[in-house]
Structure 1
């Protein structure tokens, strides 16, 4: 009798028994008698790499995803042999490799199973492409949950889903549609309060099945390349995410203005239209830092050119916009128009920089300019050339950022929407076909763009944004979630996608506020702005074919709500900048799904809507029309309603009333939230005090505020300011302790301290053990103090 499993995998090949084990420092090699080799490498006590070959030797070890500077090194490594298995033990886990079939099981030090192979590694010979389909299946336990995988437009917990990774231009994509723009083959498993991660570093088209096909089996496979994956042990999800983010790399700090509000449309032209848009923002007092120019700024859609009819003097225009606080961002696509009079095309042709078909001719495809050739960004020489093309745009004209689009790569008028799979790539000296290079094409374009913008923006910091990306692209670029739709369903999708991107290492991400395709109602736009200001990247963007989507395209009420929430984002810039600093320093995601925030609470495992912004602000967007309230889950701990200051104890689902000009928003008890005054753009104002909203808590809580010059690289030389606050509530006393690090001296000299939730009437206030005099009338009515920033401890004593 043949079982379903045997039928399904009939024809698949498996490792046979192990005949040799050998160790070389941190790597252990297991050889099977049918030429399969497993190379197990201990990178950290909690991170092990598994690499398989079926041909008796390994190909060159090369990855675009892995950050060469990632931390590695272990405390303990012991390899032992038992009757049935070999064991590799670190100070965190035990890994057992069965002698009979090379199947792997991983245990914690108490012999509790974390993850084990079901069929384990197997493969299918693919004669059509001359390689193998490589497969891995793991046993999944009841109640196990799965998270991550980048921009997937489905529920946060992937249990029961099958997903595909193949970077694709999916205009107006729908919920659950596969595949999308980005490829991040990294997921987090959570089972019995233990988290682990799997990063399948394979750039071919890959698939993940989370118990959809078979109830207790999770599997992943690729249409070529190696079975090469990293296992990361938590047991906290925080540990898994920070380790993965360190492995694939972190960005440098963006300029502070990049965290402001951005405005974009396809397309703002001519110059008079751009000026009209920017003037309206200033007239309406809606803060904005960046204005985008889409493909119509170019001459016939030729990259690195300007349409002189629309923009007769771009340098002057960019300078005038800059004087009013607007940074100009321009789009650059990969398609280079075939035109012998066009200097960029001529130079690339002379130097042989375009991608070629297998039988020799250049790859040709239609995009916006018509017929185009496409640079091979996997060639380091091409990347260097491409970086040099930004000199005029950035150093001479003064453009402050570059937007890479259509880099999946997208091609029009062909069924698969991209390059033919026989196109050849250099792949940094590892020549291959487009089957292998497709998923990293956009990442390598963004990498080349980043190096160019960085070179010519210096001593300022670069800003780059990309639509397509592979794991590790966060080292070079921010991103957005692609061509979404003006619908309530897409507001829900945007909320999920950005949370998912943040725990997939790619934190500097947002969605097109209001939706790219179709026209949002005023209510939908207002609710989207209320969510979008809590995303790391904040930009309204629309296709323009349905009219306008600026805030003033709607009624006065929507304009007021937009202004209120964009103002709030600008007030929270020091908090957001601190979040970003923690992301680049420690790999901590800027947005945290509730399951990341508290994995011990099983109620968080299936929550989609609520998230933690930074470490101490809980946000729950309104995702349905005509809603003046909603049910939400309040995570464990104590939380203050931002709008009413009511204190709520969490760990439960509850109904929260709200208004059209509010969304449910709560501050963690004990938190200190820094605020700047509202500015129309970053750097508009100089101010003498930093506002601190201080929330009382009957115990201890820590908060930090990171600041520097807001641009440039002095922060890397120690010229930053890091304020570490500890609040302690004890009976009728409340303490605020401050510890300072760094050599940067902020412009302000005072703190304005807003005390929220004090449970007692104040009798006296002491700074560094000295009693101070203060205006009791103002304090009693408004609950704020203004004090010199040079203090170590503030002590508020109650009656």
Structure 2
């Protein structure tokens, strides 16, 4: 403990007494504190220490404990030993050490502790610290939507909502984390915090909050789903959105957006129905048209016209917000909402107040995720919708908001980094109890890069919500904003999403009970350590059947196709199938040098997957034994008591495939109790001996020989050698999959059990054959790492070419798809040792491994950046873009002046370090969207004492563009630096970051 710690806070003293009260155990400590221990349920414990001894249950509004009873508390048995108090409850022992005052949760069933405190709590005025032991292979998750990260071992995360939507920002404030050791912890506080999962000390996790009350819930579970379900038991289950929410959405501004005439050659110009091109403008003098809800100004610029435009281009629009952050006229909005409803579109309203001033809306969009605001909005929707399911969308969140709202937000478009950042952030949100989260396709402002926009639309078609947020920047964000080819691709992915809606809707229902929708790989494959790490943070499982690996950069091959390296497919016993081409891959390895044309997103079906594309049209990818339960309701009603569940199983044992479709359980208003059933079973060869049983009675099936005759048949089967269930993509490739298709006539779905048996079945058996080591195939000699090309994130390997293809094992992970005599590994971790082996490959034969070799990646540039730099300015900063953002080392935050820049009054930025630093350079990162407010003439001054400054060279002249501005400071010592802006490219001054780098001798 540092001296500063000692002055500001103290350790919890030894346990000196304990007693069992009516609802809790009361614990007394020698330093005067009193704590209460509650046993709420099996594996849910609460430790509540209030220095004021008031124990106000309303000190936080994040929890609801009305559903818990006193049953397990009453059954618990305390006993004292010479050094501790032990409370036995179920399979758990809660052990409170006497001196020091430490808590341990021990699992009798597993014979090991789930959670152990490393040292006593530290308490002070407005602060509290908890220290937990951290195991070597223990990984941590949670903390809300932490942009760019889902796995936190070795990191420090902030518990706050900073509204920064890019990398390093935190969209939601969730004081909840959990460990793969089988415990979670939820801190019942609305105060900001900081969680250090081994960054300062790899053996200790430090949990701190800016609050003296320590009120923590400890959650024990054997699986992540169990821990998340217990978190929901305290804070509320996630919403089950109405079914229309899964369709395509559009958020636009039809109140203040103005349009000016333009030409086709202008990049951001949009073609309208009158045959002319227009661009958005903020200058009324340039405008020739203005947005409106119903065409009150000019119809083609109205919200109604946007609905027409979507439908005319065959993009069925499902929901729409037309008043981006603006008030509306009641009559105009009601008229628009009625028109939208007639077109099959649900209208929502964006408001910060209780939206009782307009009628016709079905959902609410808000910037306020507080329990009070969400509760009010829910009550308004309940009254308005007459018991139908409401929907609230917020652009931020906190613990408990998941029970009332979904999180959606916008970002800067036209940016590859945002895709990578959001993939990891969405995974992390699901692991934090926020399963329904999405962001606008291609962001809100910025944009203009068609390749990024289309890759963003593709992967977001596999997220819980899919929507565009328009009219906030220069470029249109609709899925038809670019050329015809791009439009056709986006239309195909929307069609695919519609087919996957029954699967996605079932996943959203499963989320009620702890199962994330977008899943980290370890949730399905927990025994592979790689799945807990950053190496796989750019891919995810959608449920348990689809692996999605978004394109996250602009790297291309010689044909202009996207180049994909470092794609990991889990489990060496698992077969993975490309969703679009049907190509099969063996799991348990990383694939490299994959090539994907613009229409093709890397999406893989897990062997054994079963899909329902709607109306009992099932698709099977047989492999091993699998089971799925499809959920359905009418999309609006009380889903808990009004829904159906249909269980489907598939079992491939040897060459015998058995499929069972069980009777549908449950009911809801409007359901079809009778229906046909179709089965589409992917296979490699014609399967002889089809047997079909209906309620254990064999029925005779007729075989059809052509697509046309089978299409007109009511019942029968057809072996299709040119099969495709994704006909939207047939325009981009030849159909080359084979499937056995079975049709069954209409029957009662609630009373009918279907069993299909195929005794001579084969699908993917050749894929699962592992490589054979051939002693005649010479092993590689002298492979090596090119030390001249080592960077913080990449290593280049060279070897004498013997075969066309090689495999490289790097830190125990097998890499496939490597050809030639040289390969560069990207996306590596800085300052990390990589041990490699290489072997030659010829068909399914491989050589012996080479001798191990390797190298250490360089330190990341950020390691040399000076942290905690204080900055002052003579200009006031905008409230939403504070000056502190300029030195927070987050490239996603942005500083901007509030007052207009005056050349007669140069802007000064004075940066102060904690000590005299030996520098190498200063880097200024311009802001993202436009370059109207970039510094274009600056001067620099150096100070050794923080008081006296001396000029450093002449004025620097910078271009107003997106390139970082670098000023060399090699061998310069400074305690402070002053940057003076003499000219700006616009009326304000803005910037994303100013970073000062130490000399590289810092780590010598």
Report the TM-score range of the alignment, normalised by the length of the smaller protein.
0.7 to 0.9
Which residue among 586, 606, 609 is the counterpart of 1:671?
A: 609
Shift, 1:399, TM fit: 1.1
Q: Which position in structure 1 is the counterpart of 2:340?
A: 321
Q: Relative to 1, partners in 2 of residues 1:747 and 1:494: Cα closer, same or farther, differing over 3 Å?
A: farther
SS at match of 2:445: coil
Q: Supply the distance in 2 between the matched residues of 1:163 and 1:297 (Cα, whole angstroms).
A: 34
SS at match of 2:492: helix
Which residue among 197, 200, 205 is the counterpart of 1:210?
A: 197
Shift, 1:112, TM fit: 2.3
Q: Supply the distance in 2 between the matched residues of 1:48 and 1:31 (Cα, whole angstroms).
A: 18
Could you state the TM-score of these two structures normalised by the residue count of structure 2? Answer: 0.63
Give yes or no for contact 1:453–1:462 (8 Å, CA) kept in 2: yes
Matched, 1:634 2:569: yes
Q: Which position in structure 2 is the counterpart of 1:463?
A: 391
Give yes or no for contact 1:134–1:226 (8 Å, CA) kept in 2: yes
Bigger mean CA offset, 5-14 vs 97-106: 5-14
Q: Which position in structure 1 is the counterpart of 2:648?
A: 725
Give yes or no for contact 1:264–1:542 (8 Å, CA) kept in 2: yes
SS at match of 1:208: strand
Q: Which position in structure 1 is the counterpart of 2:242?
A: 255
Which residue among 516, 519, 525 is the counterpart of 1:598?
A: 525
Q: Relative to 1, partners in 2 of residues 1:520 and 1:233: Cα closer, same or farther, differing over 3 Å?
A: farther
Q: Which position in structure 2 is the counterpart of 1:353?
A: none
Q: Relative to 1, partners in 2 of residues 1:645 and 1:47: Cα closer, same or farther, differing over 3 Å?
A: same
SS at match of 2:459: helix
Q: Supply the distance in 2 between the matched residues of 1:534 and 1:316 (Cα, whole angstroms).
A: 33
Shift, 1:296, TM fit: 6.7
Within 5 Å, which residues of 2 pair with 1:496-575?
A: 496-542=424-470, 544-575=472-503
Matched, 1:186 2:147: no
Q: Relative to 1, partners in 2 of residues 1:716 and 1:734: Cα closer, same or farther, differing over 3 Å?
A: same
Q: Supply the distance in 2 between the matched residues of 1:743 and 1:551 (Cα, whole angstroms).
A: 37
Shift, 1:56, TM fit: 4.2
Q: Supply the distance in 2 between the matched residues of 1:51 and 1:534 (Cα, whole angstroms).
A: 41
Q: Supply the distance in 1 between the matched residues of 2:201 and 2:5 (Cα, whole angstroms).
A: 11
Q: Relative to 1, partners in 2 of residues 1:732 and 1:34: Cα closer, same or farther, differing over 3 Å?
A: closer
Q: Supply the distance in 2 between the matched residues of 1:81 and 1:61 (Cα, whole angstroms).
A: 32
SS at match of 2:233: helix
SS at match of 2:350: strand
Q: Supply the distance in 2 between the matched residues of 1:632 and 1:90 (Cα, whole angstroms).
A: 45
Bigger mean CA offset, 449-458 vs 641-650: 641-650
Shift, 1:760, TM fit: 5.5
Q: Which position in structure 2 is the counterpart of 1:780?
A: 719
Would you tell me which structure has more strand in proportion to its own residues?
2
Which residue among 286, 290, 294 is the counterpart of 2:319?
A: 290
Q: Relative to 1, partners in 2 of residues 1:731 and 1:215: Cα closer, same or farther, differing over 3 Å?
A: closer
Give yes or no for contact 2:549–2:601 (8 Å, CA) kept in 1: yes
Shift, 1:529, TM fit: 0.8
For structure 1, the 5+ residue unaligned runs are 126-131, 299-304, 335-385, 408-440, 677-688
SS at match of 1:453: helix
Give yes or no for contact 1:690–1:748 (8 Å, CA) kept in 2: no
Within 5 Å, which residues of 2 pair with 1:369-448?
A: 386=354, 389-390=355-356, 392-393=357-358, 397-405=359-367, 407=368, 442-448=370-376
Q: Relative to 1, partners in 2 of residues 1:294 and 1:486: Cα closer, same or farther, differing over 3 Å?
A: farther
Give yes or no for contact 2:12–2:120 (8 Å, CA) kept in 1: no
Q: Which position in structure 1 is the counterpart of 2:151?
A: 157
Would you tell me which structure has more helix in proportion to its own residues?
1
Matched, 1:175 2:167: yes
Give yes or no for contact 1:181–1:482 (8 Å, CA) kept in 2: no
Instruction: Give the superposed CA RMSD.
Output: 2.4
SS at match of 2:689: strand
Which residue among 758, 770, 773 is the counterpart of 1:797?
A: 758
Bigger mean CA offset, 108-117 vs 255-264: 108-117
Shift, 1:69, TM fit: 5.6
Q: Relative to 1, partners in 2 of residues 1:646 and 1:153: Cα closer, same or farther, differing over 3 Å?
A: same
Q: Relative to 1, partners in 2 of residues 1:215 and 1:716: Cα closer, same or farther, differing over 3 Å?
A: closer
Shift, 1:117, TM fit: 1.6
For structure 2, the 5+ residue unaligned runs are 256-290, 294-298, 557-561, 707-717, 724-739, 761-1004
Q: Supply the distance in 1 between the matched residues of 2:31 and 2:404 (Cα, whole angstroms).
A: 42
CA offset digits 1:305-336 (Å, max 9, x no partner): 418xxxx63322221121111111111025xx
Q: Which position in structure 1 is the counterpart of 2:935?
A: none
- Structure number with greater CO (CA < 8 Å, separation at least 6) is 1
Q: Relative to 1, partners in 2 of residues 1:143 and 1:697: Cα closer, same or farther, differing over 3 Å?
A: closer
Q: Supply the distance in 2 between the matched residues of 1:212 and 1:174 (Cα, whole angstroms).
A: 22
Q: Supply the distance in 2 between the matched residues of 1:759 and 1:146 (Cα, whole angstroms).
A: 46
CA offset digits 1:528-579 (Å, max 9, x no partner): 1111111112111145321311122212222112111111111111111111
SS at match of 2:10: coil
CA offset digits 1:258-294 (Å, max 9, x no partner): 1111112345631332122111111111122012123
Shift, 1:5, TM fit: 4.5
Which residue among 617, 639, 643 is the counterpart of 2:546?
A: 617
Give yes or no for contact 1:446–1:466 (8 Å, CA) kept in 2: no
Give yes or no for contact 2:147–2:171 (8 Å, CA) kept in 1: no
SS at match of 2:446: coil
SS at match of 1:235: coil
Give yes or no for contact 1:149–1:185 (8 Å, CA) kept in 2: yes
Shift, 1:733, TM fit: 2.9
Give yes or no for contact 2:250–2:470 (8 Å, CA) kept in 1: no
